[in-house]
Amino acid sequence: MRGPGLGDLDAVIAVSRRGSFRAAALDLGMSTTALSNAVAKLEAGLGARLFNRTTRSVALTDAGRSFVGQVGPALQEIHGAMDMVRSHQETPSGTLRINAFATAAREILPPLILEFLRRYPAVHVDLVTEGKLVDIVAAGFDLGVRAANLVPTDMIAVPVGRAQRYAVVGSPAYFQTRKRPINPLDLLEHSCIRIRLPNGALFRWVFEKNGETVQLDVDGRITLDEASLSRAVILDGMGLGFFMEPDVLADIEAGHMVRVLEDWTPPLPGLCLYYPGRRNASAALKAFVGLARELRAKAEASDARGNMAARTGRSRSGGTA
């Protein structure tokens, strides 16, 4: 009888890590049914149950804990050896798994990820978006994308994108009968969209100006945990929302939203691509990081040219005054 394959062992490790067949199946890019069948087949071959399953939870049995404790490190060694072989490939191929929060994913998708796919047609990119921070190594990701101040200190970080800002917005219809807030405390007189974080806590709206920091637990009749839902509510004139600037910039420029308190939302730490400092990075990972550095250098050169042109223009204007 054929013994268990790497895929079967990876399935057990994924379920034990995630505590859920559904979440593990998403990580592995397979159906929940296929994953469940793989684990059941492995359990049948071992003659022991690895997981206790209920309708609400999945937990390792004693035998399962012993199995994962011994198989897990061995699997890491095997995958490390496979990565070492892949690192000698000249042509990037295979799958690159990236974890990012939604706003960051939207920002890097066209300039970086789509350009990467055009250059390297043999690579598949698996982009997973979630609000909570994850251990990208333990969760099986090659790369993560977060704000620079959230990148773990043991990771290699590559800046991508431009500095981020928050934006407080409302619809023109909303402001027809209400005064625009001038100070963050004015928000206490407005209906605001409350934000629930991935850990269940409510997000406090954060402002800063001239060294003064204000954090507000705003009041409102609706609480949401997804930016696109908040955007729909704002466009319907139901209140004020707090967004990452890229999520609503097009609406502001088109006049569908009115921005307020802009002087209280200074630049935030920019985005960084980050990854573990492994010696045997795959050719796909090397190529992706290389492209990120290339695009960053081009953006910085473009900004420098723009700043120089602006200074030259001001100088000429001053000389002719």
CATH number of residue 145's parent domain: 3.40.190.10
Q: How many domains does the chain have?
A: 3
Residue 79 domain flag: yes
Listed residues 57, 86, 115: the one ending a domain: 86
Are 263 and 165 within 8 A, CB to CB? no
CA atoms within 13 A on the CB side of 1: 7
Listed residues 45, 66, 86: the one ending a domain: 86
Spatial strand order in the sheet of 258-260: 241-244, 166-170, 258-260
Q: What does the pLDDT average to over 179-204? A: 93
The CATH number assigned to the domain holding 65 equals 1.10.10.10
DSSP states along 57-101: -EEE-HHHHHHHHHHHHHHHHHHHHHHHHHTT-SS--EEEEEEE-
User: Are 56 and 109 found together in one domain?
Assistant: no
Nearest-angstrom CA–CA distance, 45 and 4: 8
Residue 34 domain flag: yes
Are 172 and 258 within 8 A, CB to CB? yes
155 band by pLDDT with thresholds 50, 70 and 90 = very high
Question: Could you read off the pLDDT of 140-151 as tens digits, one per residue?
Answer: 899 999 988 889
What domain range includes position 202?
166-264
**83 or 166: which leads in pLDDT:** 166
204 band by pLDDT with thresholds 50, 70 and 90 = very high
User: Are 170 and 241 found together in one domain?
Assistant: yes
pLDDT at position 1 = 46
Nearest-angstrom CA–CA distance, 100 and 107: 10
User: Are 184 and 237 found together in one domain?
Assistant: yes
User: Are 178 and 260 found together in one domain?
Assistant: yes
User: Are 154 and 295 found together in one domain?
Assistant: yes
pLDDT at position 80 = 73
Residue 31 domain flag: yes
pLDDT at position 319 = 52
User: Are 107 and 149 found together in one domain?
Assistant: yes
320 band by pLDDT with thresholds 50, 70 and 90 = very low
Q: What does the pLDDT average to over 219-247? A: 93
198 band by pLDDT with thresholds 50, 70 and 90 = confident
- Cα angle value 188/192/197 (rounded, 5°): 110
pLDDT at position 252 = 97
User: Are 237 and 208 found together in one domain?
Assistant: yes
